[in-house]
Structure 1
Amino acid sequence: MTNWILGDRFDTVYPHKGSIKALWETKWKFCCSKSIYPFHDGEFEDFEPIFESLIANNINDPFTDAYTNTFSPIVDRLEEEATKALNNGHPDRASDLFRRAAVVLRISRFPYVSPTTRPDNAVKRAAFDRQKDLYLKAASLWKPALKEVVIPHSRRSGKDGSSIPLYIRVPEEASASHPVPVVLLMTGLDGYRPDNSQRTHEIINRGWAVVICEIPGTADCPSDPADPESADRLWTAVLDYMAQRPEFDMSHVAAWGLSAGGFYAIRAACTHRDFLVGSVAHGPGSHHFLSPEWLAKVNDHEYPFTITDCWAEKYGYATTEEFIQNSQKKFSLVETGVMDQPNCRLLLLNGVDDGVVPIEDSLVLFNHGGPKEGRFFEGTVHMGYPHSLPVAYTWLESVLSPNATEVKN
Structure 2
Amino acid sequence: MEMGRVDAAETVATEDPWDASARGFYRRWWQAVPDRDELVEAVRTLGGTTQDVWVPHWRAVADRHEARAVQAEEEGDLALARVEFLATKTYLSIARFPDAITPEKGEVSRDCVRAYLRACAHLEPPLQVVEISYGEWTMTAHLRVPAAGTAVPAVLVMCGSDVFKEDRGWVQEQCVGRGLAALVMDAPGTGENPVPWSPDSVGAWEAAVDFLAGRPDVDANRIAAFGISRGGYSVMQLAGTAPEKLAAVVAVAGSPVGRLPEGEKLERHLATVNERSAWFFGAPGDGPFAEPLTLEELTARHSAWSLAELGLLDRITQPLLMINGSEDDHSPISNIYTVLEHGPLAGKEARIYAGAGHCAPEHAGEWIPQAFDWLATKLGADSRPGAGE
- Alignment TM-score > 0.5, same fold: yes
Residue 31 (structure 2) aligned to one of 26, 40, 55: 40
Residue pair 2:14, 2:25 contacting (<8 A) in 1 also: no
Q: Does 1:277 align with 2:247?
A: yes
Q: 1:400 to 1:273 in 2, by over 3 A?
A: same
Q: Please list every run of 5 or more consecutive structure 1 residues that lacks an aligned counterpart in the other structure.
A: 1-9, 311-316
Residue 149 (structure 1) aligned to one of 122, 127, 130: 130
Counterpart-to-counterpart distance in 1, 2:55 and 2:339: 39
Which range moves more in the overlay, 381-390 or 274-283? 381-390
Corresponding residue number in structure 2 for 1:380: 356
Q: 1:289 to 1:368 in 2, by over 3 A?
A: closer
Counterpart-to-counterpart distance in 1, 2:110 and 2:266: 31
> Whose relative contact order is higher, 1 or 2, with alpha carbons under 8 Å and at least 6 apart?
2
* 1:136-165 Cα shifts (integer Å, max 9, x gaps): 100122222223212222xx2xxxx51011
Matching residue's letter, 1:52 = R
Q: In structure 1, the residue corresponding to 2:245 is in which secondary structure?
A: coil
Q: TM-score, normalised by structure 2?
A: 0.82
Matching residue's letter, 2:137 = S
Corresponding residue number in structure 2 for 1:107: 94
Q: Once the two structures are aligned, what percentage of the paired residues are identical?
A: 24
Which range moves more in the overlay, 125-134 or 213-222? 213-222
Corresponding residue number in structure 1 for 2:313: 339
Corresponding residue number in structure 1 for 2:183: 211
For residues 234-273 of structure 1, what are the structure 2 equivalents within 5 Å?
Answer: 234-273=204-243
Residue pair 1:92, 1:141 contacting (<8 A) in 2 also: no
Residue pair 1:295, 1:324 contacting (<8 A) in 2 also: no
Counterpart-to-counterpart distance in 2, 1:308 and 1:334: 32
Counterpart-to-counterpart distance in 2, 1:392 and 1:307: 34
Residue 201 (structure 2) aligned to one of 216, 221, 230: 230
Counterpart-to-counterpart distance in 2, 1:63 and 1:406: 46
Counterpart-to-counterpart distance in 2, 1:405 and 1:179: 16
* 1:84-125 Cα shifts (integer Å, max 9, x gaps): 322232222221111111111122223x21xxx55xx33333
Q: 1:202 to 1:258 in 2, by over 3 A?
A: same
Matching residue's letter, 1:270 = G
> Deviation at 1:203?
1.0
Q: Does 1:85 align with 2:76?
A: no
Residue pair 1:251, 1:275 contacting (<8 A) in 2 also: yes
Q: In structure 2, the residue corresponding to 1:219 is in which secondary structure?
A: coil
Corresponding residue number in structure 2 for 1:14: 9
Q: In structure 1, the residue corresponding to 2:227 is in which secondary structure?
A: strand
Which range moves more in the overlay, 198-207 or 179-188? 198-207
* 1:334-373 Cα shifts (integer Å, max 9, x gaps): 1221213352222221111112210001111222333432
> Deviation at 1:295?
7.3
Q: 1:17 to 1:99 in 2, by over 3 A?
A: closer
Counterpart-to-counterpart distance in 1, 2:92 and 2:274: 19
Counterpart-to-counterpart distance in 1, 2:92 and 2:51: 15
Counterpart-to-counterpart distance in 1, 2:291 and 2:153: 40
Counterpart-to-counterpart distance in 1, 2:6 and 2:38: 35
For residues 125-144 of structure 1, what are the structure 2 equivalents within 5 Å?
Answer: 125-144=106-125
> Deviation at 1:404?
5.9
Residue pair 1:355, 1:382 contacting (<8 A) in 2 also: yes
Which range moves more in the overlay, 382-391 or 347-356? 382-391
Residue pair 1:255, 1:265 contacting (<8 A) in 2 also: yes
Residue 143 (structure 2) aligned to one of 143, 164, 168: 168
Which range moves more in the overlay, 347-356 or 335-344? 335-344
Residue pair 1:289, 1:358 contacting (<8 A) in 2 also: no
> Deviation at 1:12?
4.9
Corresponding residue number in structure 1 for 2:284: none
Q: 1:213 to 1:309 in 2, by over 3 A?
A: farther
* 1:164-219 Cα shifts (integer Å, max 9, x gaps): 11111111x234xx111101111122221011232222211111110011222322
Counterpart-to-counterpart distance in 2, 1:219 and 1:41: 18
Counterpart-to-counterpart distance in 1, 2:151 and 2:103: 42
> Deviation at 1:19?
6.1
Q: TM-score, normalised by structure 1?
A: 0.78
Residue pair 1:139, 1:147 contacting (<8 A) in 2 also: no
Q: 1:298 to 1:29 in 2, by over 3 A?
A: closer
> Deviation at 1:302?
9.8
Which range moves more in the overlay, 345-354 or 283-292? 283-292
Corresponding residue number in structure 2 for 1:51: 43
Counterpart-to-counterpart distance in 2, 1:17 and 1:391: 26
Residue pair 2:14, 2:24 contacting (<8 A) in 1 also: no
Counterpart-to-counterpart distance in 1, 2:24 and 2:304: 38
Matching residue's letter, 1:13 = A
Q: Please list every run of 5 or more consecutive structure 2 residues that lacks an aligned counterpart in the other structure.
A: 282-289
Corresponding residue number in structure 2 for 1:356: 330
Q: How many residues align?
A: 366
Counterpart-to-counterpart distance in 1, 2:181 and 2:320: 20
Residue pair 2:257, 2:339 contacting (<8 A) in 1 also: no
Corresponding residue number in structure 1 for 2:287: none
Q: 1:309 to 1:129 in 2, by over 3 A?
A: same
Alpha-carbon RMSD: 3.5
